[in-house]
């Protein structure tokens, strides 16, 4: 089956919405507490968003022509996404472990956690948006 430009556009929109929804629900998590319906939807959403983001990175790896200027930019943004991914995980590990430290301010503990969480999905949304915008540039993509 040939992948078409239109299908990727729809996919990018879904990934973008998933990322933004994850950020919104991440912030709401602290305000509305744990609710079984929202909690389960949020949990599924996080997994889907993460897989879609990772899927987009792999897709770009195979389908972007890195010899073009825009292709190079997308490739660099892909590297950036993976760096942000790694830093976000380190922030989350730090924040979650430090929640037990009586010598560390609670504000900083939660800042680490939220920064880690939000930065991942924010960068994911930006990365997706950039992919979406460049889909019309024929020299970038190998699927048409």
Partner 1 sequence: MILGFLCIIVLAGGSFWAFMLFFGGRVLKGITIVIEEFVAQSSVLMLGLCIAVTLLLMKLLASRRVKHPKQYYVLIIIGFSISGLNAASLLATPYTIINANEEFNDAFGINWENSIPPNIQNCFLPTPYFFSSHFLSIPERQISVETDVLFYTGENITLYFDVYRPIGPPSELPGNGSIIINLHPGAWMSGGKGTWNMISTSKYLAGQGYVVFDIEYGLIDWFEYGAAAPDTPEYVMGNFTIEDQIRHVGIFTNRCESEFAATYGGNLDSVYFMGRSAGAHLAGVAGLGYNYDFHNTTFSPNMKVKGIIPLYPPSAAPDALLKENRTMNPDLYNAYDLAHLADIQDPPALIFQGTSDGQVWIERVEKLEADLESKGVDCCLLKFPFAGHANDFVLSSNIGQVWIYYLERFLYLTQ
Based on CB atoms, which residue is closest to partner 1, 14 or 92? 92
Based on CB atoms, which residue is closest to partner 1, 104 or 143? 104
Least gap, CB of 68 to partner 1 (angstroms): 15
| Tokens at 115, concatenated | 């920064």
Least gap, CB of 33 to partner 1 (angstroms): 5
Which residues form the interface with partner 1 (CB under 8 A)?
A: 25-26, 29-30, 33-36, 39-40, 42-44, 46-47, 50, 54, 57-58, 61, 66, 75, 78-79, 82, 85-86, 89, 92-93, 95-97, 99-103, 110, 113-114, 116-117
Based on CB atoms, which residue is closest to partner 1, 6 or 33? 33
Least gap, CB of 94 to partner 1 (angstroms): 10
Least gap, CB of 14 to partner 1 (angstroms): 19
- Determine the length of the chain: 144
Strand ranges inside the chain, DSSP E: none
What does the longest C-alpha to C-alpha distance in the chain come to?
Answer: 58
Burial 47-79 (b: 16+ CB within 10 A, else e): eebbebbeebbebbeebbbeebebbeebbebbe
Paired residues of 138 in beta bridges: none
Burial class (CB in 10 A: 0-12, 13-18, 19+), 105: exposed
Based on CB atoms, which residue is closest to partner 1, 70 or 92? 92
């Amino acid at each position: 089956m040939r992948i078409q430009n239109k299908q990727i556009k729809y996919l990018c929109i879904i990934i973008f919405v998933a990322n933004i929804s994850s950020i919104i629900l991440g912030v709401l998590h602290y305000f509305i507490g744990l609710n079984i319906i929202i909690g389960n939807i949020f949990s599924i959403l996080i997994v889907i968003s993460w897989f879609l983001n990772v899927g987009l990175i792999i897709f770009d790896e195979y389908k972007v022509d890195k010899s073009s200027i825009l292709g190079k930019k997308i490739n660099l943004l892909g590297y950036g996404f993976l760096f942000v991914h790694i830093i976000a995980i380190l922030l989350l590990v730090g924040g979650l472990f430090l929640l037990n430290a009586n010598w560390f301010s609670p504000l900083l503990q939660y800042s680490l956690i939220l920064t880690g969480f939000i930065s991942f999905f924010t960068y994911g949304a930006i990365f997706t948006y950039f992919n979406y915008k460049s889909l019309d540039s024929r020299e970038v993509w190998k699927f048409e």
